[in-house]
Amino acid sequence: MKKALIISSFPDITSSVEALLHEADYRPILKASSGNEVRRNIRSEAEPEIIVIVSPLTDEFGQELALMLSETTSSGILLLCRNFICDDLSEKVAGSGIEVVPLPLNRTIFLNSVKRTSAARSRMTGIKKENSSLLSKIDEMRLINRAKCTLMEYLKFTEPQAHKYIEKQAMNNRQTRREVALKILSSYKK
C-alpha cells in the first residue's frame, strides 16, 4: 500500500480527498491541519508517497510548505487551491515538481493528477538510485586509482602493472578491488 498525507483545515474537503485517495489505493492516509504540525512531525514519520495540501491552512497559505516539502522530501506534492488563483500559483511553484489542482474538487482531474505525480515520483526515485550507484562506482574508481598511484610510487610499477596487481590480488584473495585498494593504501600510506 502507498502512504499519503493530507494537510487541510477543511473537514469536508479532507474527507473527499481521503475517499479519492482510497480509490487510488493509498493507505494509510495521515492527516494534519497546519503547516507547523507537519514541520514538527515530517522527520519522525516515514515519508509518504504523496502529500496533498489544501490551501489555505490555518497558519499559512500552503505554498511555502509545499515548496519546503518538495525540497526536503521525495514525496509527490499536490497543492489544491481555489480555481481563480490556480494559474498564478502554478507559475510560482513551476519547476519544483508541485502539481496545482483547482477547487472545487473534480474526481477525474484529481485522480489524473495523483497518477502523474506518482509516476513522476517513481521516476525520480529510480534516477536517485541510479545516481547513488554511479557515485559509488566513481568513489571506488578513485580509491583504486589512488592505490595504483601508491604502487607506482613505492614499488615503481607502471600503470598497467599496478592495475594487473590489484586485479590479481582481488581474484586470488577473493576480495573486491576496493578491499585490495584499501589494504594497499593502509600498508603504504601510514
CA 26, chain centre distance (Å): 19
Residue 120: C-alpha distances to residues 77, 124, 154, 167 (Å): 10, 6, 51, 41
Burial of 33-63, coded b for 16+ CB within 10 Å and e otherwise, reads: bbbeebeeebeeeeebbbbbbbbebeeebbb
The pLDDT tens digits of the residues spanning 39-63 come to 888 776 678 999 999 999 998 999 9
Checking if the pLDDT of 189 tops 80, the result is: no
The pLDDT tens digits of the residues spanning 79-126 come to 999 989 988 998 998 888 899 999 999 999 999 999 999 888 888 888
Name the residue type at position 74. S
Checking if the pLDDT of 186 tops 80, the result is: yes
Question: What is d(CA 43, CA 37) in angstroms, rounded to the nearest whole number?
Answer: 11
pLDDT band for 128, please (50, 70, 90 cuts).
confident
Q: What is the pLDDT of residue 160?
A: 94
Q: What is the mean pLDDT of the chain?
A: 91
Checking if the pLDDT of 73 tops 90, the result is: no
Q: Answer whether 49's CB lies under 8 Å from 26's CB.
A: yes
Q: What is the mean pLDDT of residues 179-185?
A: 94
Q: Could you tell me the domains of the chain?
A: 2-105 (3.40.50.2300), 134-188 (1.10.10.10)
| Residue 126 in grid coordinates | 529510480
The DSSP secondary structure of 7-76, one letter per residue, reads E-S-HHHHHHHHHHHHHTTEEEEEEESSHHHHHHHTTTSPPPSEEEEESS-SSS-SHHHHHHHHHH---E
Which are the contacts of 113, defined by CB distance < 8 A and separation ≥ 6?
78, 99, 101
Q: What is the pLDDT of residue 65?
A: 92
The pLDDT tens digits of the residues spanning 15-45 come to 999 999 999 999 999 999 898 888 888 776 6
Q: What is the pLDDT of residue 95?
A: 86
Q: What is the pLDDT of residue 39?
A: 86
Question: What is d(CA 56, CA 34) in angstroms, rounded to the nearest whole number?
Answer: 9
- From the number of C-beta atoms within 10 Å of its C-beta (0-12, 13-18, 19+), residue 71 rates as exposed
